[in-house]
Structure 1
């Protein structure tokens, strides 16, 4: 991993967009060129708050997936591999 963001790095954690914005700045990436993959509704909210496209991972945490408007839904980690 090029960048790791912990709760000590930003004032506001997810679902605020600040952790994603911090990572984007460290990577010198633009929000409009970024896809954030997450397995929780807080990930989707954080992506929205940071102006980043979101893909919902349907595997992972045991919670129910309540994504509102993901750009993509990914059934397995192999789907991520296919994207890149």
Structure 2
């Protein structure tokens, strides 16, 4: 394999990696409401309630999905998990 073909293959892989951190919800691409960025880190957070915490049953609480903007670090909360754009 020549240097040029290896370089082209590497650049193609790098371009695919650029979109690896973009997400969508119900067909709409996620966009940061603070800076307009489109690259995010996906996370989850537990939604604790006073009643279940009092009973020591925090594990029974629901959770939310989070998208943290890689440009400005603004965190957006979602009830359903965003899908990664491939």
TM range (shorter): under 0.3
TM-score by length of 1: 0.20
Q: Which has the higher strand share?
A: 2
TM-score by length of 2: 0.20
Over alpha carbons, which structure has the higher Rg? 2
Q: Which has the higher helix share?
A: 1
Q: Which has the higher contact order (CA 8 A, sep 6+)?
A: 2
